[in-house]
Amino acid sequence: MTTKKKPKVYVTRKLPDAVETRMRELFDAELNIDDRPRTPAELAAAVRTVDVLVPTVTDRIDAALIEEAGPQMKLIASFSNGTDHIDVEAAARLGITVTNTPNVLTEDTADMTMALILAVPRRLAEGARILTDNPGEWAGWSPTWMLGRRIHGKRIGIVGMGRIGTAVARRAKAFGLSIHYHNRKRVNPATEDELEATYWDSLDQMLARVDIVSVNCPSTPATFHLISARRLALLQPTSYIVNTARGDVIDETALIKILREGRIAGAGLDVFENEPAVSPKLVKLANEGKVVILPHMSSATLEGRIDMGDKVIINIRAFIDGHRPPNRVLPFR
């Protein structure tokens, strides 16, 4: 009996122990135990010799890097739902398959979106800081103190009604929000009925009418600055915007400007346009209580990360065995 040679798999970041153990069993895996982000030169050296690259959202897998790949490197199995860090077009041109890890982080991301939808109008982060910044002092209850804005009965406008947007809508409905959404196409009638959702063909018209905007679409060339300066100006001064998708869907400079001018009430951001750089202006706005900023952690649960690892493994195994991997990503057209 001949034993099949294990594929050489290069993983760019530390993964949960259970995933690394399984990868060691199945593959000739080069893991990143100390979790030091790999440099472009290290990635280029890797793709010249390995069979499979497992990058994640903190890596930049651009055309120049993909062009360095040796003829044996035929799969980029990303440990992520989003694939905007990968030039999928360049990979397709060079005959390299790209896969991602959809579905398994839908509920976690929707939970965190809901957490921001609650946290910003209800001033949760500000309130939490008051006691820790002033130990031993009680600066609590008075009738006019720390007043936020009510969530129940308001309108949410979801931009991007895919899996995550729909999961956000379910939660929002349970909190008494009425559901409005804009999407490239209308969701199926059963989902619309279940959510009692109103579809807006015109994003502009929806933005002008809702109290909370939740950005849940992927970052693609078509969604770059979808929430532009012009569209931000359509929002009501009492409205809030939450983004757990990708930073570049919102024109961040324009968002900072309208927040500083008080032309909207607040924002909750888990993602940033120039990630990993976070604008000091946003940090200042957070300190003033106008925004809640998080370090891209919406999908960060142990269960989710293990499920993502399982998906990566399934995609690699299917590909190596000559099958079409279940989560193949095609170039955006």
Interface positions, 103-122, toward ligand O=CC(=O)O (CB under 6 A)? 105
In the complex, the smallest distance separating the C-beta of residue 81 from ligand O=CC(=O)O, rounded to whole angstroms, is 4
- Asked if 249 touches ligand O=CC(=O)O (CB under 6 A), the answer is no
Contact yes or no for 313/327 (Cβ under 8 A): no
Residues 6+ apart with CB under 8 A from 138: none
Closest to ligand O=CC(=O)O by CB, 81 vs 239, is 81
Q: Which amino acid makes up residue 121? A: P
Active site residue 275: yes
- Asked if 315 touches ligand O=CC(=O)O (CB under 6 A), the answer is no
From the candidates 246, 252, 273, 305, give the one annotated as an active-site residue: 246
With tokens 């493994």, the residue in question is 313
Residues 6+ apart with CB under 8 A from 128: none
- Asked if 57 touches ligand O=CC(=O)O (CB under 6 A), the answer is yes
In the complex, the smallest distance separating the C-beta of residue 82 from ligand O=CC(=O)O, rounded to whole angstroms, is 3
Quick check: bond before 102 cis, omega within 30? Answer: no
| CA-atom Rg of the chain in angstroms | 22
- Asked if 82 touches ligand O=CC(=O)O (CB under 6 A), the answer is yes
Active site residue 68: no
- Mark 222-241 with x for binding to ligand O=CC(=O)O (rule: CB under 6 A) and - for no binding: --------------------
With tokens 């998080």, the residue in question is 294
Residue from 81, 214, 216, 223 that binds ligand O=CC(=O)O (CB under 6 A)? Answer: 81
Q: Which amino acid makes up residue 221? A: P
| Cα 157 to Cα 92, 112, 147, 240, 312, distances in angstroms | 35, 17, 23, 10, 33
Count of residues engaged in binding ligand O=CC(=O)O, rule: CB under 6 A: 6
Interface positions, 269-308, toward ligand O=CC(=O)O (CB under 6 A)? 299
- H-assigned helices in 82-235: 88-93, 106-119, 124-133, 163-174, 189-195, 203-209, 229-232
From the candidates 180, 182, 296, 305, give the one annotated as an active-site residue: 296
Q: Write out the catalytic residue numbers.
A: 246, 275, 296
Site for ligand O=CC(=O)O, rule CB under 6 A: 57, 80-82, 105, 299
